[in-house]
């Protein structure tokens, strides 16, 4: 894990932030997802002191290797999450198995988390499927199945003025990897504010002020350079093994023209020679369009800076209240 777990422990600074990351990803993506978010936090808050702890929810299918990973990397359970006094929580998505999220085996645990955040917990940021699950639970907003997977890098813009998006450029790209979306009109009807969106990919970041501010990401600004490529490779393998029926689409705006030509040739061959051993001849590719971390670090940085500022204000207020008490002055 990045060194932030070791060095960013809260000391006497009143703006030190305790951040919990609830990592719901499958075993194979646990490590990379944690690293992505930790790298974003480190880039987002270079001047802040952030203590990050990792959590896992029950109900998620784990192999023995996955359980060992959780233990070796000091993952804590839901009871620890609610008792730690966190200042902020990030909830990752996971790979959906059921068409109705309420039929997922982890749904009960996830809604327990949502209820705690809404009633007693801190501000939270939700990623992809976690965003869909949260708005379904809070406001009954159903996700809509897309005609095909929304997969690749898409151009986005900001809507209006908000501190969370103030430092973003006029146009920027964000990764998407999903089969479903929540409609913009349904979000607006339930009081959500859309802060970033795309003509091709729809809503990205949207927020709602409940008891605390909640952030919802449909895309993946936290993705590193190689994540979309790894997902594409995984889906090609699934096609060759028969785990999926259709050959996956190439992620948009990710590979260059030469690479796409090689991938098209491999696809044609895969249609005729559908067996897993063919993966040994998959083209060697290099993503020549590395993703910029500035988009994710800008939004998460604004969020964390706001939390730190509120903590400093609370500390000043508390100090002022103590000094105003009778007998709390000189010579007592």
Q: Within 226-293, where are the H helices?
A: 227-241, 257-272
CA 47: distance to chain centroid? Answer: 22
Q: H-helix or E-strand containing 123?
A: strand 123-127
In 3D space, the residue among 92, 39, 52, 43 whose CA is nearest the CA of residue 216 turns out to be 92
DSSP β-bridge partners for residue 252: 152
Q: How many helices (H) and strands (E) does the chain have?
A: 10, 11
The vertex-97 CA angle with 134 and 187, nearest 5°, equals 30
> Residue holding tokens 């000094």?
323
Marked catalytic residue, from 156, 220, 231, 259: 220
- Catalytic (active site) residue 276: no
Marked catalytic residue, from 128, 132, 197, 259: 128
What residues contact 160, with CB distance under 8 A and at least 6 apart? 193, 195
What residues contact 305, with CB distance under 8 A and at least 6 apart? 45, 48
Marked catalytic residue, from 104, 181, 204, 222: 222
Task: Report how far residue 194's alpha carbon sits from residue 110's, in angstroms, rounded to the nearest whole number.
Answer: 24
DSSP code, position 60? S
In 3D space, the residue among 51, 37, 45, 50 whose CA is nearest the CA of residue 92 turns out to be 37
Cβ count within 10 A of residue 30: 22
Buried b (16+ CB within 10 A) or exposed e, 91-118: bbbbebeeeebeebebbebbbebbebbb
- Catalytic (active site) residue 142: no
User: Do 15 and 312 meet the contact criterion of CB atoms below 8 Å apart?
Assistant: yes
- Catalytic (active site) residue 220: yes
Active site positions, annotated: 128, 220, 222
């Amino acid at each position: 894990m990045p060194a932030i777990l070791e060095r960013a422990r809260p000391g006497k600074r009143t703006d030190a932030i305790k951040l919990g990351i609830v990592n719901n990803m499958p075993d194979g993506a646990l490590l990379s997802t944690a690293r992505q978010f930790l790298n974003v936090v480190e880039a987002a808050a270079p001047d802040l002191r952030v203590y990050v702890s990792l959590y896992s929810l029950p109900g998620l299918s784990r192999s023995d290797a996955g359980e060992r990973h959780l233990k070796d990397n000091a993952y804590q359970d839901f009871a620890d999450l609610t008792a730690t006094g966190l200042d902020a929580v990030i909830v990752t998505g996971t790979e959906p198995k059921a068409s109705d999220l309420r039929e997922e085996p982890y749904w009960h645990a996830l809604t327990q988390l949502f209820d705690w955040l809404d009633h007693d917990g801190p501000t939270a940021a939700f990623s992809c499927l976690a965003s869909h699950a949260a708005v379904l639970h809070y406001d009954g907003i159903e996700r809509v199945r897309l005609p095909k997977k929304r997969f690749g890098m898409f151009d986005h813009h900001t809507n209006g003025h908000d501190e969370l998006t103030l430092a973003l450029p006029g146009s920027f790209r964000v990764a998407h990897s999903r089969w479903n979306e929540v409609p913009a009109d349904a979000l607006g009807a339930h009081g959500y504010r859309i802060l970033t969106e795309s003509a091709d990919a729809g809503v990205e970041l949207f927020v709602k002020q409940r008891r605390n501010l909640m952030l919802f990401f449909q895309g993946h600004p936290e993705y590193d350079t190689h994540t979309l490529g790894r997902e594409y490779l995984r889906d090609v393998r699934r096609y060759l093994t028969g785990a999926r029926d259709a050959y996956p689409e190439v992620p948009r705006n990710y590979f260059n023209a030469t690479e796409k030509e090689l991938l098209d040739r491999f696809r044609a061959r895969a249609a005729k020679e559908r067996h897993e051993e063919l993966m040994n001849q998959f083209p060697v590719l290099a993503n020549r369009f590395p993703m910029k971390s500035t988009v994710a670090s800008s939004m998460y940085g604004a969020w964390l800076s706001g939390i730190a500022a509120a903590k400093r204000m609370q500390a000043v207020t508390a100090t002022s209240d103590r000094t105003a008490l009778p007998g709390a002055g000189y010579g007592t």
